[in-house]
Homo-oligomer: A and B are copies of this chain.
Amino acid sequence: MADDVLFEFLHMEIVSHVYKEQTSREDTDKDRVTCVSILEGMGFRVGQGLIERCTKDYPTFKDDLDIMKFLCKDFWTSIFRKQVDNLRTNHQGTYVLQDNKFALLTQVSSGKQHLEEAPKYLAYSCGLIRGALCNLGLESVVTAEVSLMPSCKFQVVIQKS
């Protein structure tokens, strides 16, 4: 019941705290980068922890695509209570995960003027994905893009080692 909003409320508080403590300083552009990377870092560590639990009783994965599918289904459901709606890949290490109703954006008004606020609420989740992949042996770069709230695309680019 309140269970599902507990995480969302806490997430909102962190975003607002991280941004508030930064805006008290100068150099706005650098600050924006710092905030995103603080939130991304938190997500990264939580993602690492979560994926360990998720995959505890899971057989090994066949390939990268198999890992991405797991992420879109089991991992995503355990966090956001729904699957990713669409997964696309160019079969060369780039994956696009589309969530048409992303939980952490549903509380944000959908007017165009709020689009520039969106990255705040996506940084943590980019970190979650990157942390999960990292613990499964895949280095990646994860970015997010919103064109129409609350729909959201995460782009994952696997780094060849």
Chain A contact residues, CB within 8 Å of chain B: 1-3, 5-7, 9-11, 13-14, 17-18, 21, 38, 42, 45-46, 49-50, 53-54, 75, 78-79, 81
Assuming the A-B contacts A1-B78, A14-B14, A78-B1, are A6 and B42 also in contact, with contact meaning beta carbons closer than 8 angstroms in the complex? no
CB-CB under 8 A from A21, the residues of chain B are 21
Write 8 A-B pairs (CB below 8 A) sorted by A numbering.
A2-B50, A3-B81, A6-B50, A10-B42, A10-B46, A14-B42, A17-B18, A21-B21
How would you classify the secondary structure of chain A's contact residues: helix, strand, loop or mixed?
helix
**A127 and chain B: residue at smallest CB distance:** B13
B9 A10 Cβ-Cβ under 8 A: no
A11 B9 Cβ-Cβ under 8 A: no
B42 A2 Cβ-Cβ under 8 A: no
CB-CB under 8 A from A11, the residues of chain B are 10
CB-CB under 8 A from A17, the residues of chain B are 14, 18, 38, 42
Give chain B nearest CB distance to A130 CB in angstroms.
15
Task: Report the separation of the CA atoms of residues A6 and B79 in the bound assembly, to the nearest whole angstrom.
Answer: 7
**A49 and chain B: residue at smallest CB distance:** B9
B78 A3 Cβ-Cβ under 8 A: yes
Give chain B nearest CB distance to A125 CB in angstroms.
12
Give chain B nearest CB distance to A4 CB in angstroms.
8
B9 A6 Cβ-Cβ under 8 A: no
CB-CB under 8 A from A78, the residues of chain B are 1-3, 6
